[in-house]
Amino acid sequence: MKAAAFLYPWDVVGDPEAPARLARLGIRRVTLAAAYHSTRALTPRHPRHRIVTAAHAAVLYPPGDHWQGREPRPYAAGDWAPGDAYGEAAQALRDAGLDVHSWVVLAHNSRLGEDHPATSVVNAHGDRYPWAPCIAQPATRAYLADLAAEAAVRPGTGTRGTELESCGWYGLAHLHAHDKIAGVPLGEAGQYLMSLCFCASCREGYEGQGLDPDELADAVRRALEPVWRGGEEGEGWPAVEKLIGADRAAATRAWREKTARTLQEAVVGAVRAAAPAGFQVLLHADPVAYHCGANAGVDPAHILSVADGVVVPCTGGAHLLEPFAAQGAEGAVLAANLTVVSGMGGSPATLAADAARATELGATELRLYHAGLASDADLALVAEALSHTE
């Protein structure tokens, strides 16, 4: 089974041994970050540093001149990825015999929300989520499509495909700075209701579904009051219907899912228009369409008719592959994403068994998160496992 590992440019730039070390793992491809959110990352083998702090969301290459005068527009990276860090890393990896695909984070950008607060998701209480651009806003949608086309393709770098993360709604759930929001644990229903957006564009969207946005916001606030006091919210979508009523729930979902679908179509279309023939486009995806986050909620049948495939979170179990596999989409890539950093909850020791189970449930490829963050011991286990998955 073909395996690819995620990587940041700073894992390679300045470390001439990194490409060969990665190739020895047994991977055939690297999914290399080209546009990424803020992070603090470990580099346990780099000869010059151990911790890289990416202070804000940025493109890891020089943004094009066509962004001049536009708002919003991408931010250039600071000293964590100066110049064309993506291009430099891509060349070194290709020289080691590895294929390179880009890794592009879209609707997850705290600096955008800080600099342009009106772009952010606004919950029913009026709180803004600066990390979550509202994907219903026309200017934000245009920005995301153009960013995807530029960051995904990277002409002249030999990039042969892309993986698009956060191509859909982002909501409450987010590792934001020093998070202190777990005092009242929320299930799927609570997360959904706290992720509903009430910006001007979404309010207009709810009206188009026959809802009064003020009444909807009030219904959300009233529904969650018992939850804040420690009450049970129920499980899954039936709990949402119980909390705010089936008709309201269905209308919000219709608006949000249409918004996400059309964004995904626009983004993939923009990438294809900019890319050469044969360029592969995958989405990080969750088969439950109302879910939010890095693995955007999608309709499996729809997304497999738009993109070349999906990357599915499988750490803790590969069951999310099944709705995609059930579509029977010939030639579609179904990549099982498995965390191989033991310190981040991964299990490199069981990688071979986990990969075998994912294959049984429909996986055609593996993704390994994350070759730059993993310890030497973790990588040794990965290499051993991959020697048995060919």
pLDDT 10s digits, 52-85:
999 999 999 999 999 999 999 999 999 999 999 9
pLDDT value of position 245: 98
- One DSSP character per residue, 321-371 reads GHHHHTT--TT-EEEEEEE--GGGT--GGGHHHHHHHHHHTT--EEEEETT
pLDDT 10s digits, 194-208:
999 999 999 999 999
Domains, the chain, ranges and CATH? 2-181+279-386 (3.20.20.80)
DSSP 232: -
pLDDT value of position 390: 59
pLDDT 10s digits, 190-246:
999 999 999 999 999 999 999 999 999 999 999 999 999 988 888 999 999 999 999
pLDDT at 11 over 80: yes
Among left, alpha and beta (phi > 0; psi -120 to 50; other), residue 249 is: alpha
Compute the mean pLDDT over every residue in the chain, rounded to the nearest whole number.
96
Helical H segments across 51-199, by residue range = 85-95, 110-115, 138-153, 188-195
pLDDT value of position 181: 82
Pairing assessment for the beta strands 120-122 and 128-133 based on DSSP bridges: antiparallel
Which residue do the tokens 């393709």 mark?
Answer: 153
DSSP 298: -
d(CA 21, CA 138): 44
Using an 8 Å Cβ cutoff, are 5 and 371 in contact? Answer: yes
pLDDT 10s digits, 109-118:
999 999 999 9
d(CA 366, CA 371): 13
pLDDT value of position 343: 96
Pull the structure tokens for residue 50.
Answer: 């151990």
- One DSSP character per residue, 149-167 reads HHHHH-TTTT--EEEEES-
Contacts of residue 191, Cβ cutoff 8 Å, sequence gap at least 6: 171, 172, 173, 292
pLDDT bin (cut points 50, 70, 90) of residue 1 is confident
pLDDT value of position 324: 98
Pull the structure tokens for residue 68.
Answer: 């001049």
